[in-house]
Amino acid sequence: MVITLRLLFRIALPVAIVATLALWLASSGPLVRSSNEAMVEPTPTPPGYQGPAGVPGALVAIPSSNEALGIDLSAPGATDENPLAPQLLSVPPESVATDPFFRTWARTDDPVAANEVTRTWMWGPTPVGDSVPEPYAEAPGGKRLVQYYDKSRMELTDPESGVVTQGLLALDMMLGRIQVGDAEFVDHPTGASTENVAGDRGGNNGPTYASMSGLIEAAPLAAGAAVTQTVDANGQIGEDSDLAAFGVMADELVQRDWLNHRIASVFWAFMNQEGVVWADAGYQNDRLFTDSFYAVGLPVTEAYWSKVQVNGSSKWVLV
């Protein structure tokens, strides 16, 4: 069985709900601001970069029973054989080389777009629309620039610093609230999202963001414990000892503020992986992120298995 990853921490989104999420966001304004920050330095445009566009590959923890036991920490990117491979659009180099959003994107996702490496997109192959200003109390003029991607959003609260933070989409959708300042929140008009966390869209297909919110205060697993907990569409926790065969263990413990959860071993390995990145004006092997939590965020629940429909087939997924 091969396990690929779908990270359900504070920023990840299933590909199937991108269009719906865009509508959910359109009425809401800004989302929760990430506490993970990273200064980005000016980065030359990668050779041959033309600007990505297309459909992202899913990042889902799905065991497959018809393959040899193993852990695959990559998912298909753009290849000639991949029918979802991105079609590249022309973007003037001078516009992207000075864009802090682009520089953040380019480190991990430009190598995927350029077929330098085969792995999942961290953000997505293309921005979802143009960057837009949204209300934020601490930003100059009361607004900050944000850029949405298929799997995240980026925020530039202080243009002078060049610091890009990551929006916390999953947490926003779980709690049904919107952050409009460092300590200011408003309720989302439609409340917590009833979209499925993973799998195909449709009713009763695994847990929703709203039902997962009830798991935020669940106690963490013991270190090294096999992850065999399950969660159903209503957010009810169960147990299936057969899931120990997948070899997923409770790994890193995160205790910050109100958080008290362990990260599943496959997720932790993914967050700390090394590979081809764009840095220092060229491709090189390095950690994808110097801060393991920068792109993925912090875990707001334990890891759970859930059986959902994926492309019409019932599969176990790890969320």
- In tens, the pLDDT along 32-57 reads 223 333 333 333 445 434 443 322 22
Query: Per residue in 63-118, pLDDT tens?
Result: 433 222 232 333 333 333 332 333 333 333 344 445 899 999 999 999 999 999 99
How far is it, in rounded angstroms, from Cα 84 to Cα 234? 32
pLDDT at 209: 95
6 in Cβ contact with 318 (< 8 Å): yes
Residue 263 has pLDDT above 90, yes or no: yes
Euclidean distance between the first and the last CA atom of the chain, given in angstroms as a whole number: 17
Predicted pLDDT of residue 87: 31
Q: Find the mean pLDDT for residues 13-36.
A: 33
Angle (CA) 310 197 262, round 5°: 115
The predicted pLDDT at position 48 comes to: 37
* pLDDT computed for residue 253 by the predictor: 98
**Average predicted confidence (pLDDT) for the chain:** 76
Adjacency order of strands within the sheet including 153-156: 37-39, 163-166, 153-156, 143-148, 132-135
| One-letter identity of residue 148 | Y
* C-alpha to C-alpha distance for 111 and 165, rounded to whole angstroms: 21
Distance between CA atoms of residues 176 and 183, nearest Å: 16
Extents of the domains making up the chain:
2-318
Q: Answer yes or no: are the C-beta atoms of 288 and 108 closer than 8 Å.
A: yes
pLDDT at 98: 56
263: its two tokens: 């990260």
User: What pLDDT is recorded for position 49?
Assistant: 41
Q: Tell how strand 177-181 and strand 184-187 pair up.
A: antiparallel
- 3-class SS of residue 25: helix
Q: Where are the alpha helices (DSSP H) in 71-181?
A: 93-97, 100-113, 169-175
Token representation of residue 154:
């980026």
- The pLDDT of residue 153 is 86
Spatial separation of the C-alpha atoms in residues 8 and 318, rounded to whole Å: 9
- For the stretch 193-209, pLDDT in tens is 999 998 898 877 899 99
- What pLDDT is attached to residue 155? 94
Among 248, 273, 262, 299, CA closest to 63: 248
Q: Mention every residue, 6+ apart, whose C-beta is less than 8 A from residue 280.
A: none
**Torsion sign, CA atoms 195, 309, 7, 155:** negative
Q: What predicted TM-score, i.e. pTM, was given to this entire model?
A: 0.71
DSSP structural state of residue 293: T
How far apart (Å, rounded) are the C-alpha atoms in residues 80 and 96?
26
